[in-house]
Amino acid sequence: MPTPPACPVCSLENTYPDGDRLICPDCGHEWQPGSDTAIEDSDSKIIKDSNGQPLIDGDSVFLIKDLKVKGSSINLKKGTKVKSIRLVAGDHEVDCKIDGVSFMLKAAFLKKA
């Protein structure tokens, strides 16, 4: 049985066949072998951290800079670890909880742990 090829989006080799297509569980990319087109939802987009690593739901990330929270006196400190992120569509790509408080963050300020 031949080994499936690496994912063309994230280049990780953890791909598996599903019927007539290949799936990458790391970034969620789906494609047909020998085809350049992806089989994705029209709204889906691969969200990457500040270093270009693809993020998925449940990842842990670190803040790469201090962030001021609008409308509050709270400052999120650089190096804060955020566990179990959730990816969402919109201006802020990541929903998370830090110390029990919900925040919406941009992926550009995060680094995958």
The full set of domain ranges for the chain reads 1-41, 61-112
Element (DSSP H or E) covering residue 23: strand 21-23
Q: Quote the distance between the C-alpha of residue 99 and its chain's center.
A: 21
CB 97 within 8 A of CB 105: no
- Where does the pLDDT of residue 46 fall: very low under 50, low under 70, confident under 90, or very high at 90 and above? confident
The model's pTM: 0.59
Fold of 61-112: SH3 type barrels. (2.30.30)
Closest CA to 17 of 90, 25, 9: 25
Name the residue among 68, 67, 66 with its Cα closest to residue 78.
66
| pLDDT at 36 (0 to 100) | 52
- pLDDT at position 38: 46
3-state secondary structure of 109: helix
When pLDDT is averaged across residues 74-95 and rounded to a whole number, the result is: 92
In this structure, whether the domain defined by 1-41 belongs to CATH 2.60.120.430 is answered with: no
Q: What is the three-class DSSP state of 20?
A: coil
- Residue 40, pLDDT score: 46
